[in-house]
Amino acid sequence: MSTPVKKVPIHLQSAQNRLLIKHGKVVNEDDITEDDIYIEDGVIKQLGRNLIIPGGTRVIDARGKYVLPGGIDPHTHFEMEFMGAKSVDDFYQGTKAAVAGGTTMIIDFVMPKKGESILDAFYEYRQKGDDKVCCDYGLHVALTHWNEQVRREMEVLCKEHGVNSFKVFMAYNFMLNDSELYSVFETCQKLGALAQVHAENGSIIAKNVERLLAKGITGPEGHEMSRPEEVEAEAVNRACVIAKQVDCPLYIVHVMSKSAGLALKQACERGTRVYGETLVAALASDGSHYRHECFQHSAGHVLSPPLRPDPTTPQFLLNLLAQDVLQVTGSDNCTFNKSQKEMGKNDFSKIPNGVNGVEDRMSVIWEKGVQSGVIDPCRFVAITSTNAAKIFNIYPRKGCIAVGSDADIVIWDPTKTRTISASTHHQAVDFNIFEGMVCHGVPEYVIVNGRVCVDDGQLRVVQGHGRFVETPVYAPFVYDPDKIGDLKPVRNGTHDDYLPEQVHKITIEDKACPTPTLPDSAVSTPSVRGPRPEGQRNIQDSTFSISEDLDVDRKSCIRVRNPPGGKSSGFW
Ligand code: URQ
Ligand code: ZN
Ligand code: ZN
């Protein structure tokens, strides 16, 4: 079977091919500037002031708003068959919801059945995704078994199909053993791919499940009891030890507990090349929900690893994100309706695992992170977009606002609020774990490949508008940080100044190990990945004021407040 070829109908591209965004505060991971952005044919062509643009161009006034790179959600499971059910958000509904929330690219997981050809499974996912997606998408491939054929097909996927990351499981009935993990990591290293790990000790969980059910603990509270956080931390540590033997860079998906975060931090200190993702669910919810009397509510929160009973976990994980121990936030959107969750009514181990998040990730993280003063808008951009683009090697095509980058842009109003509810969300699922949460930060305009898909708050997606985005192997951020130097994407000028080869040359921070202190206060602790290149702002040096930032008069610099430990220079 050959790879499906994506055709983008001309009429979908021609209608709104010229756009000027004026007067906004353009936020990249390292800077906030007051530039206008000219977009043509889906690409950012000019960035700066007093741009000369063709007549007839549509102008969007972003005065008083932030202009952000579109969110990249690197962890979704749309229409996935899992635990005897199929997740209800498909590639249409899921990407539509993503766009509604300010996410302009998702990376989903091909989930082959145990024993199935991973190449065939990849083709099936391309077929499911290509005609439905409302925004761009990429694919990781999960390895649910291990043999020579899998090894050969991994190579084909990397060389011919734009896949650069493979997920392995240390839990579930398709978990791999240590020797198999070793072989997978070795293969990834040889191919220049990234190994992703679901870190939980599946053998311990199986025994705990048996013991709890025998004791009559059958409700959703048993889910967390069977998978306590040390069981997650042990697996994080083991995965890091194995990856280090073969010098394979590792990405731990869904870090859900303090212990797991610390295990990752310690592995990094020992010299393991490891990156960490946490979930919006972990930042805004906790394990107390498993004891809720309503089954739909408690089962609706079941995912693995589970939410933690320790109520300080969300703040701790947020601090790890602020300190760069963790780099990425995903949703792990994997939604099942009430009737599907009821498959585990009398046995928590049969509740299909997964929660929502693809639509609300950006707003919830803004509320918990930026609105609460723990991170600034630059770090918000890093953890919701840029770092994922770098790790999965699509930067600076994605993950930044620069000349030559795809026009995936969100105009974000931090003064507006919205209340999250299953009754108003755009997802197919009938439950929302963030129900009732009021979030500052509303995407007023969402531009996907140059097309305005949220227009003054109105959602106008087009099914099939998104494209499959290849993720090339040997991501410099992961594989070659030392040789990358200090080249930056083009942040100013016109498309004529733009050198295509610069797309592949990126700024890399020194990946030194974290400091050994525990993260109590993110804002007062310096970046754990070592010094920033000269001229780049350290976001932990100061807190900031949204109201001051959003002064409608254009300023050449942005005022910051004093940091917790003393006075800052005031401007940068
Ligand atoms: O483990 C995952 O990422 C998927 C397959 C299920 N969702 C979840 O419970 N995290
Ligand atoms: Zn997982
Ligand atoms: Zn997942």
- Contact (CB, 8 A) for 162 and 138: yes
Q: The pTM is what?
A: 0.88
**To test the ligand 1 pocket, which listed residue (113, 224, 303, 433) has its Cβ within 8 A of the most ligand atoms?**
303
Handedness of CA 47, 48, 54, 56 (dihedral sign): positive
Percentage with pLDDT > 90 across the chain: 81
pLDDT in tens, 270-328: 999 999 999 999 999 999 999 999 999 999 999 999 999 999 999 999 999 999 999 99
Q: Atom 10 of ligand 1 has which residue's CA nearest to it? A: 304
Query: CB of 157 within 8 A of CB of 118?
Result: yes
Q: Bridge-partner residues for 239, per DSSP?
A: none
- pLDDT tier, 502 (very low <50, low <70, confident <90, very high otherwise): very low
Spatial CB neighbours of 121, under 8 Å, sequence gap ≥ 6: 110, 111, 112, 113, 141
Kindly report the backbone phi and psi dihedral angles of residue 505, in degrees, each rounded to the nearest multiple of 5, phi listed first.
Answer: -110, 120
| Longest distance between any two alpha carbons in the chain, whole Å | 74
Q: Of 506, 492, 572, whose CA–CA distance to 539 is shortest?
A: 572
Q: What integer is the mean pLDDT of 156-179?
A: 98
Ligand 1 atom showing the smallest separation from residue 142 Cα: 5
| Ligand 3 geometric centre to CA of 510 (Å) | 29
Entry field: residues in the chain = 572
Assess whether the previous peptide bond of 305 is cis (omega < 30° from 0). yes
Confidence grade of residue 25 (pLDDT, cut at 50, 70, 90): very high
How far apart, in whole angstroms, are the C-alpha atoms of residue 402 and residue 404?
Answer: 6
Of the listed ranges 53-67, 444-458, 477-491, the least confidently predicted one is 477-491
For residue 141, the model assigns a pLDDT of 99
Residues with CB under 6 A from ligand 1: 77, 82, 198, 254, 303-304, 332, 334, 353-354
Q: How far is ligand 3, taken at its centre, from the CA of residue 301, in Å? A: 14
Taking only the tens place, the pLDDT of each residue in 181-207 is 999 999 999 999 999 999 999 999 999
d(C-alpha 399, C-alpha 388), whole Å? 8
Closest Cα to residue 467, out of 3, 5, 2, 1?
5
Nearest Cα to 378, choosing from 533, 504, 540?
540
Q: Is the pLDDT of residue 565 over 70?
A: no
- Cα–Cα distance measured from residue 122 to residue 162, given in angstroms and rounded to the nearest whole number: 11
Residue 194 vs residue 526, higher pLDDT: 194
Instruction: Report the pLDDT averaged over residues 343-372.
Output: 98
Per-residue model confidence (pLDDT) at position 453: 98
Instruction: Round to whole Å and give the CA distance between 335 and 320.
Output: 27
For residues 49 and 559, the model is more confident at 49
Where residue 483 falls among pLDDT bands split at 50, 70, 90? low
Site to probe by mutation for ligand 1, drawn from 88, 277, 353 as the one with most ligand atoms within 8 Å of Cβ, is 353
Per-residue confidence (pLDDT) for residue 307, from 0 to 100: 98
* Res. 523: pLDDT tops 70: no
Residue 484's pLDDT is: 52
Token output for 532: 């920033």
CB 298 within 8 A of CB 289: yes
pLDDT for the residue 481 = 76
If one residue of 87, 333, 334, 356 were mutated to test the ligand 1 pocket, choosing by the most ligand atoms within 8 A of its CB, it would be 334
Q: Name the residue among 253, 329, 257, 335 with its Cα closest to residue 299.
A: 335
What number is the average pLDDT over the span 28-55?
97
Instruction: Measure 357 CA to ligand 3 centroid, in angstroms.
Output: 11
Going from the Cα of 422 to the center of ligand 1, the distance in angstroms, rounded, reads 21
